[in-house]
Structure 1
């Protein structure tokens, strides 16, 4: 890994810590929107009441906290590179009365757990941001027991995700957004059909399959969508920070105009599509 790549986790810790407050603010909306993806990851993990589960890149707690309620005789370990995001998850676990969860701030490429520890490993939207995805999947396989399931979600193709591309495309017209190569962290770096299947098989997993899951991001007004996306989306916030006041006003106006295409029965509905991939440790 290059020196530049080595510095990515440190930058990610700082950035995600800064965005933890925004994710906490919009927790209810994020839970509703992303639930179908987390539910699919859990379904393909084939949990049992006594399963010992690892949730990698759990952020503010999902799908790990949902899984914890399904394994009353088991345990779920939630990990994330951001201690700030995990602190929100801890608060939510306490509110829900979940006693079978623990939290560890760590890099997905260096999981601090023994070999063959977990009955299942979950990862919802983590692979999009891992600097070294092959190291991350190797660590998941290493810490999984033989026969354990590893299940993940990644964002699908850009055309299937106007919830993000609408605003990112508008930003690109007015600002210089970074265009990292496909191997570097980014929202759609894992979106090519079959990409995750090859990654899992190369790591030695068997019985690998992938499928699509879609839902809508729903907001009642352009103002609500704009506040939401600028609070939780790092790339959007970074792009806006680079624009001057006039450009920010133009970007906002253009986004609001485009959102009119997605109004249906008094609400904005923006399609969101993920690939769910799962495999078994031989």
Structure 2
């Protein structure tokens, strides 16, 4: 791996470690919010009770935790760059009484597993942040057994994800946010149509399908949404760091006003849309 890719990986590890406390704090909310995407992935994974499953970039453990409950005679290994995030995943497994669940810190582009090790490979919201999408897809294919399913979820276009754009768009209107380099890691990096399909095809996968899935991020109040995004989203913190106190206060006021426009049944409902990509080894 080149020095530049090493730097990206190390920077990402440091970022996930730094925000791990926020992810732990909001773990229940996040698990509920993202559950529909994991459920679709697992449905496509065609798991059996003795399946061996790899969940890459799993953070605090999902959808690997759910998969472990479905493969009582099998095994699930979840990986992530951040050992601190994986500690939360391990604690979640203990609370659920899952004994067939292991964690392994590693780089998604250099998986420490032998060829043809797993009956299914999962990756929910990891591909957007990998230094090289194509390299990761090849690694997933390498460790998958023949006929294994590889299932990933990536965020769709910004217009379909008000959970992110409500705050990030407001910040961008008040402070200068340099556009990301083409192809560099970022939330919507894998949203362009055909990008993930091409990566899966180049990795030698077949029977590639895509399914768009939408759900809502739900918060009790606009203020809770603001607190949540400040606790878990590095781009939010980085953007606000560029604002002086008055500008930051104005941004907050505008975000709360925008979030209030998504109130339904007394709570904030923010659109969250992803594409689930499935390929067969």
Q: TM-score range by the shorter chain?
A: over 0.9
1:173-228 deviation line (CA, Å, top 9, x unaligned):
12222421231100001112222111111111001000100001111211111111
Alpha-carbon distance in 2 for matches of 1:251, 1:53: 43
Alpha-carbon distance in 1 for matches of 2:24, 2:46: 29
- Paired position in structure 1 for 2:261: 261
Which residues of structure 1 form unaligned runs of 5+?
A: none
Alignment of 1:104-115 (within 5 A): 104-115=104-115
Cα displacement (A) at 1:5: 3.3
- Paired position in structure 2 for 1:220: 220
- Paired position in structure 1 for 2:154: 154
Secondary structure at the aligned position of 1:246 is classed as helix
- Paired position in structure 2 for 1:231: 231
> Which ranges of 4 or more aligned residues in structure 1 deviate by more than 6 Å?
none
Alignment of 1:131-280 (within 5 A): 131-280=131-280
- Paired position in structure 1 for 2:64: 64
| Higher mean displacement: 263-272 or 142-151 | 263-272
Q: How many aligned positions are there?
A: 281
Alpha-carbon distance in 1 for matches of 2:98, 2:5: 36
Cα displacement (A) at 1:259: 1.4
- Paired position in structure 2 for 1:116: 116
TM (norm. structure 2) is 0.97
Secondary structure at the aligned position of 1:256 is classed as helix
Cα displacement (A) at 1:2: 5.6
Alpha-carbon distance in 2 for matches of 1:177, 1:220: 29
Alpha-carbon distance in 1 for matches of 2:178, 2:86: 28
Alpha-carbon distance in 1 for matches of 2:146, 2:213: 27
Which residues of structure 2 form unaligned runs of 5+?
A: none
TM (norm. structure 1) is 0.97
